[in-house]
Every structure is written in C-alpha cells, then in structure tokens.
Amino acid sequence: MKKIFIAFLCICTFSAHAAVDKALVNNAEKYLNSITGLTGNFTQTASGKTERGTFSMLRPGRVRLDYKNMPVQLIADGRDLYFFDRSLDQITTVPLTSTPAGILIRKNIDLKNADINVVDTASTDKTFSLKMELRGQEGLGNMTVVFDKKPVKLNSWSVVDATGAKTDVAFSGLKTKTDFGKNYFQIARHKTVSTSGGDDFYD
C-alpha cells in the first residue's frame, strides 16, 4: 500500500528534454486555474493491480482519495499530504510541495514557474499531455498529466518512481463541486511517522 503514497511523491529530472509545445502548456495552465473544486471517481493501476475509489479536489491545496477495497485514505489539507493506513492505524505525512498533486492544486498555477519544469508535451486527436518535474527533486521519478481536448478537462495522470515502477490514475465522472463539508479535507492524527510543514503555494 505504501506504493500508493510513493506514487504521489515522485517527480524527477530527465537527462534530455524533448520539445515542448507552449500552446499545450498554456491550455493546461488556463484549465487548471479555472478549477475551484471537482469530485468524481478514479481507477488506479499499479504493479498489475487495479484499485478504484472516489476523488475530490478543492483549490487551493486540498485533495482527497478514498479507496473502496483497501483501508487507505489520502488527504491533502492545504499544507501537507497524509497517507492514512487504517489497518495499521498509522499516518505518514509529507509537505504538499513535494508531491505531484501539489502542482495541480496551487492557488496560482504557473507551469512556467521556476520550480516547475515541463520537459515534454504530446498530443493526439482527443487528448494532450504534459510531462513535468520539480526542480531539486532529482532521481525521484516523473509525472505525466493527460487532459481531454474538447472540452479541456483532467483525464488521468501517470507517475514513474525511481525504480521504474509506474502508477496510472484515470478519472471518470468528474463534476464541479465546491460545497464540501468543513472537515472533509481533514484527517485525525494517530501514529504519525514523519511530518514537515508546507509553504505558501497553497495559502
């Protein structure tokens, strides 16, 4: 189950950068900045196993994934990302700024920001994608985000960790939603393994 958490942490540097289509970067940036809140379903595939659950997002800084058939929950509360393993009654915490999801839920999403590097773009008839890294996070993996074209909306993301293991997360039934409950993006602290504060990307 820890692979789920690792998949949210991995962004790395590539040795050679491919051509980047600035128009696609701008389209993605415009769409992401237009989103306030989303809810829907996700299907995750990793190591030959498929898991499903529900996905919620509220900018800035909040994400929640509830897995249907595993005692696992992922919550970002605007500062940190929490991995709650109910089977162990244990929470692992990392700064939201160190995760791929953190790029997508900042208050102001600037994909040309000094700490974000879009290293490749690709386009098909129906979708386009951006491969991204965080500068200073070398050797930890890479993340590709896929968007539908017409209309532009989040389709999926893929994360490859330092060992080459790939985790794909596809979204379906996404709808606009902003009226989440007050404590929806909060998690009770039990046995916390590691903690570190976030920063003002999400304030």
**pLDDT tens digit sequence for 135-194:** 776 566 678 999 999 999 999 999 877 778 889 999 999 999 999 988 999 876 554 444
Q: Locate the DSSP E strands across 97-140.
A: 116-123, 127-134
Q: Which residues pair with 118 in a beta bridge?
A: 132
pLDDT tens digit sequence for 57-106: 999 999 999 999 888 899 999 989 999 988 888 899 888 877 766 888 88
What is the value of pTM for the model shown?
A: 0.80
Q: Which residues pair with 147 in a beta bridge?
A: 128, 154
Q: Which helix (H) or strand (E) holds 26?
A: helix 22-34
Q: Which residue bears the tokens 């999403």?
A: 109
- DSSP code, position 7: H
pLDDT tens digit sequence for 21-30: 999 999 999 9
CA atoms within 13 Å, Cβ hemisphere of 167: 24
Which range marks the domain in which residue 14 is found?
Answer: 2-202
Q: What CA–CA distance (Å, rounded) separates 65 from 127? A: 24
Using left for φ > 0, alpha for ψ between -120 and 50, and beta otherwise, residue 199 falls in beta
Q: What CA–CA distance (Å, rounded) separates 23 from 105? A: 21
**pLDDT given for residue 62 in this prediction:** 94
Q: What CA–CA distance (Å, rounded) separates 201 from 192? A: 24
**Length, in residues, of the chain:** 203
Q: How many domains does the chain have?
A: 1
Domain harbouring 180, CATH code = 2.50.20.10
**pLDDT given for residue 14 in this prediction:** 38
> Peptide bond preceding 100: is omega within 30 degrees of 0, i.e. cis?
no
Q: Is the dihedral of CA 156, 136, 78, 82 positive or negative?
A: positive
